[in-house]
Amino acid sequence: MWRSGLRAALTSLLMIVVAFASAEGVGTEAQERARITAERATAQTAFGSRERDCQNSFVVTPCVETARRDLREVMLRLRRQEAVLDEMQRRERAAQRMETIRNRPAVAEPAASAAAPPPLRAAKVDAPRVRVHEARAPKVSAEERQQTETLKEQKFEAASQAASARRAAVERRNAERAASGKGAAALPMPAGASAP
């Protein structure tokens, strides 16, 4: 029963292909895409009728699997054909883009700039390399630099003395607490906790 549905679908497909081929001899891209779409629709219709016929047979699952396999084969073949069309279209567009690029008017560069580099460029190449922070830093005399270094050393010494004084005070407090036998108070027990 499904064979008659498949035959009908194949004959309608064959008629569509013959109609397209006879219209212009060789199918154009649009005609090929229309043929592929028609073939897909025909394959889907044939699969639907085969699947309905399989429901009436004794062994349903192998019959449906065979119908699906046949549908996959047809769809894969159609996908390959469509991929060929897509590739041809892509190549055609690429060729058109290349032709457009070739036909663009070339922008002529001035002859003077091509003959000799600008004088600033030559001056930069000949100049010695200078570190960026040295070039941007204001010029400072040796005496001012010495004063700045002295101030930095004094600040460092003051910070070190303050840190050592804080450390000594903490050690002294810890020693006094240890001598008096006074330790840290225990944390309170939470209300819901059970006693040990």
Mean pLDDT by 10 residues, the chain (196 residues): 57 55 61 92 93 87 92 94 92 93 73 54 50 59 87 92 93 87 74 67
Output the pLDDT for position 105: 80
Question: Under 8 Å CB-to-CB from 13, ≥6 apart: which residues?
Answer: 38, 39, 42
Return the number of other C-beta atoms located less than 10 Å from residue 2's C-beta: 19
Task: Evaluate whether 6 touches 49 at the Cβ level (below 8 Å).
Answer: yes
How many CA atoms lie less than 13 Å away from 161 in the CB half-sphere? 6
Strand (E) positions, the chain?
A: none
Q: How far apart are CA 48 and CA 82, in angstroms?
A: 23
Specify the pLDDT at position 28. Answer: 86
The pTM of this model reads: 0.41
Residue 22: predicted pLDDT: 46
Specify the 3-state DSSP secondary structure of 190: coil
Distance CA 38, CA 46 (A): 12
C-alpha–C-alpha distance, residues 95 and 83, integer Å: 18
**Token digits of residue 139:** 């010029």
